[in-house]
Chain A
Amino acid sequence: MRLVMDIQKELPLFRLNVSISTEQKILGILGASGAGKTMTLRCLAGLEAPTKGHIHLNHQVLFDAERKINLPSRKRRVGYLSQSYALFPHLTIAQNIAFGLHNMPFSEKKERVQTYLNQIQLTGFENRYPSGLSGGQQQRVALARALAPQPNILLLDEPFAALDDHLRSQMEKYLLEMLSTFEGITLFVTHNVEEGYRICDELFIFSKGAITASGPKETLFTKPPTYTAAQLTGCKNFSQVKRVDAHHVKAMDWGCELEVESSELSSPDFIGIRAHHLDFPNEITNDNTFPCWISQLREGPHRLSIYLKLFEPPQSASDYHLQAEVFKETWPTLKEKPFPWYVHLSPQQLFLMKADSLHA
């Protein structure tokens, strides 16, 4: 399967300009609200028409502005699952799943519906109506309904956003199971960075209607190329930088000079490090180690967020340079240390970024 998409669309607030070319099976789309993620999926599904460009799926032209081709949704063989399940309230669960199988002989249709009911573990619910199901069950039915006609491409628009944490992880399990036998391409839009990482092979970072970064998930998480990519993949610590030489930069916001690994970026705009990559040696033994004081502590269920001020004690709780995250288990030993603490920003964990350009 190969998806080639290069589209532009004028929207009231920005211009959607998306270019994706991939053979990967599961693509993740990360981006802030209103970045154009849903609109991209709607253009793929044929529910909206781009102003310019083309969409090809396996040599089939779904859309081509120049050739005036715009295949209607019903001919695109797309599965679409949105946050609102959009089940047909007047049809039973079995009828809902069978809705996309209208060209199939009855016996085959029945068998297919049964297979999917088994997969989503709702056997015995076939004659119920959606209103008699819980949110998680309804979403499973919607997933089965989208996959039953065996579409070429599956579009998932924040499918788990309305579910609580427990149901989310359950749905993720169902999704991964069902996707393991699905042969088409899946586009998965999510706000949840960890979910995106677990489910997808390749990630696209959207910002203001354009893809600012893309690539295999591992690369995007270890070396995000742009500020937005870093921010959306969960990075908390940023500083503007000026390059000093091939291995050193000056971090202006943090007021220090840092040793960095060699990078292709000759003039980076920002440097960043993830909160859990900061470590606390007992004394200054390496480069990139600086004295620091705590401005604020925030406790999560498993981890502790520590806000740090470099070089001098903080004036207030909001006066800090870095945010570190440590497991709660390490806190008892950590808190015994006298001030100043020392924080180490490992060159292997630091990454340099560009400010956002519109094209990655």
Chain B
Amino acid sequence: MGQIDLFPLKLSFEVAGCATLLGIVVGFPLVWILSQLKSPWKNTLESCFMLPMVLPPTVLGYYLLVALGRQSVIGQFFESIGLPLVFTIRGAIIAATVVSIPFFIKTGLTAIESVPQNVIEAGRVLGHSEFNVLLKIIIPLAWRGLVSGIILMFARGLGDFGTTLMVAGSIPHETTTMPIAIYNTMLAGEPGKTNLLVIIMTLAAFFILFVLNGLSHRFIRQHDLTN
């Protein structure tokens, strides 16, 4: 058992965690903008943001490679500041963010749009700025949906395989996440190792989701007094 390398597991959680944080930072403003837009703009943008859910990971990975690779403006810029993106953990984080962010946007948007308009208007009439209304009314009332979106985003980021492989490759002890490590051991004809990694991944994923769900339920119970 000494041969089992748990670095991929650690890396997977790091990547999923960072992708979740990045997803919240980028995703929340997008959710807000979408909630303020009216069709057809809203429909167009929402469809664009949902694309990663339906595109094959290879297609998505290819787009990201083109956008972030050494030939691209973005890639060159990050390379020049010493932080290359492709075939690094940063690339893996970006890939995981892109595949998982639609889950946050979709659930977050539904949550924000379900906050009653008359309650939002009451906040405005009582002298609060749009930012205050967002902070003090909309986010607290949409909290349940936002938290679900964050958990879904984390779960999706944890399990990503194809897109991460396309963008970050499989460099041992650098970019080999758990799903990729499992694929590698299977290709190498090591069924014992594969089985073990699959079980570890399943248990770890279950454990972390169990904890996250428990925390969010407790949090929601404490803060949700709407019923």
- Return the chain A residue nearest B121 by Cβ: A47
Q: Known contacts being A74-B127, A74-B129, A131-B226, is A80 close to B122, with CB within 8 Å?
A: yes
| B136 / chain A contacts, CB cutoff of 8 Å | 99
User: A90 near B128 (CB under 8 angstroms)?
Assistant: no
Q: Known contacts being A73-B125, A99-B123, is A90 close to B116, with CB within 8 Å?
A: no
User: A84 near B126 (CB under 8 angstroms)?
Assistant: no
User: B127 near A149 (CB under 8 angstroms)?
Assistant: yes
User: B118 near A86 (CB under 8 angstroms)?
Assistant: yes
User: B124 near A131 (CB under 8 angstroms)?
Assistant: no
- By DSSP majority rule, is chain A's interface helix, strand, loop, or mixed? loop
Q: Does B225 contact A (CB under 8 A)?
A: yes
What is the CA–CA distance of A45 and B224 in the complex, to the nearest angstrom? Answer: 30
What is the CA–CA distance of A147 and B116 in the complex, to the nearest angstrom? Answer: 22
What is the CA–CA distance of A100 and B122 in the complex, to the nearest angstrom? Answer: 10
Q: Does B75 contact A (CB under 8 A)?
A: no
Q: Known contacts being A86-B119, A89-B141, A90-B140, is A129 close to B225, with CB within 8 Å?
A: yes
Q: Does B80 contact A (CB under 8 A)?
A: no
Q: Does A102 contact B (CB under 8 A)?
A: yes
Q: Does A82 contact B (CB under 8 A)?
A: yes
**Chain A 250-264: CB-based contact to B (< 8 A → 1; otherwise 0):** 000000000000000
| A131 / chain B contacts, CB cutoff of 8 Å | 225-227
Count chain A residues whose beta carbon lies closer than 8 angstroms to a beta carbon of B.
Answer: 27
Quote the shortest CB–CB distance from B226 to chain A (angstroms): 4
| A72 / chain B contacts, CB cutoff of 8 Å | 124
Q: Does B137 contact A (CB under 8 A)?
A: yes
**Chain A 41-69: CB-based contact to B (< 8 A → 1; otherwise 0):** 00001110000000000000000000000
| B225 / chain A contacts, CB cutoff of 8 Å | 89-90, 129, 131
Contact of B125 among A47, A88, A89, A102 (CB under 8 A): A47
Quote the shortest CB–CB distance from A171 to chain B (angstroms): 18
What is the CA–CA distance of A45 and B136 in the complex, to the nearest angstrom? Answer: 21
Q: Does B223 contact A (CB under 8 A)?
A: yes
User: B118 near A73 (CB under 8 angstroms)?
Assistant: no
Q: Which chain A residues (119-168) contact chain B, with CB distance < 8 Å?
A: 129, 131, 145, 149
- Return the chain B residue nearest A76 by Cβ: B125
What is the CA–CA distance of A100 and B133 in the complex, to the nearest angstrom? Answer: 12
| B226 / chain A contacts, CB cutoff of 8 Å | 89-90, 131
**Chain B 119-154: CB-based contact to A (< 8 A → 1; otherwise 0):** 101111111110010001100110000000000000
- Return the chain A residue nearest B223 by Cβ: A90
Q: Does A78 contact B (CB under 8 A)?
A: yes
Quote the shortest CB–CB distance from A140 to chain B (angstroms): 15
| B224 / chain A contacts, CB cutoff of 8 Å | 90
User: B118 near A78 (CB under 8 angstroms)?
Assistant: no
Q: Which chain B residues (209-227) contact chain A, with CB distance < 8 Å?
A: 223-227
User: B125 near A45 (CB under 8 angstroms)?
Assistant: yes
Q: Which chain A residues (75-108) contact chain B, with CB distance < 8 Å?
A: 75-80, 82, 84, 86-90, 99-100, 102-103
Contact of A73 among B119, B124, B227 (CB under 8 A): B124
**Chain B 167-198: CB-based contact to A (< 8 A → 1; otherwise 0):** 00000000000000000000000000000000
| B129 / chain A contacts, CB cutoff of 8 Å | 74
User: B121 near A86 (CB under 8 angstroms)?
Assistant: yes
User: B125 near A80 (CB under 8 angstroms)?
Assistant: yes
| B124 / chain A contacts, CB cutoff of 8 Å | 46-47, 72-74
Quote the shortest CB–CB distance from A169 to chain B (angstroms): 25
What is the CA–CA distance of A73 and B127 in the complex, to the nearest angstrom? Answer: 7
| A88 / chain B contacts, CB cutoff of 8 Å | 119, 122-123, 137
| A73 / chain B contacts, CB cutoff of 8 Å | 121, 124-125
- Return the chain B residue nearest A45 by Cβ: B125
Question: Max chain B CB contacts within 10 Å: which of A75, A90, A100, A103?
Answer: A90
What is the CA–CA distance of A72 and B119 in the complex, to the nearest angstrom? Answer: 17
- Return the chain A residue nearest B116 by Cβ: A86
What is the CA–CA distance of A148 and B57 in the complex, to the nearest angstrom? Answer: 56
| A76 / chain B contacts, CB cutoff of 8 Å | 125
What is the CA–CA distance of A74 and B132 in the complex, to the nearest angstrom? Answer: 11
What is the CA–CA distance of A302 and B35 in the complex, to the nearest angstrom? Answer: 53
| A74 / chain B contacts, CB cutoff of 8 Å | 124-129
Quote the shortest CB–CB distance from B4 to chain A (angstroms): 47
| A89 / chain B contacts, CB cutoff of 8 Å | 119, 141, 225-226
List 6 A-B pairs, minimum CB-CB distance, nearest first. A100-B126, A89-B226, A86-B118, A73-B124, A86-B122, A129-B225
A-B contact pairs, 21 of them (CB 8 A): A73-B121, A73-B125, A74-B125, A74-B126, A75-B127, A76-B125, A79-B125, A80-B125, A82-B118, A84-B116, A87-B119, A88-B123, A89-B225, A89-B226, A99-B128, A99-B136, A103-B127, A131-B226, A145-B122, A145-B126, A149-B126
Given contacts A75-B127, A78-B125, A100-B126, 15 further A-B contacts (CB under 8 A): A45-B125, A47-B121, A73-B121, A76-B125, A80-B122, A82-B118, A84-B118, A87-B122, A89-B226, A90-B223, A90-B226, A99-B136, A102-B128, A131-B226, A145-B122
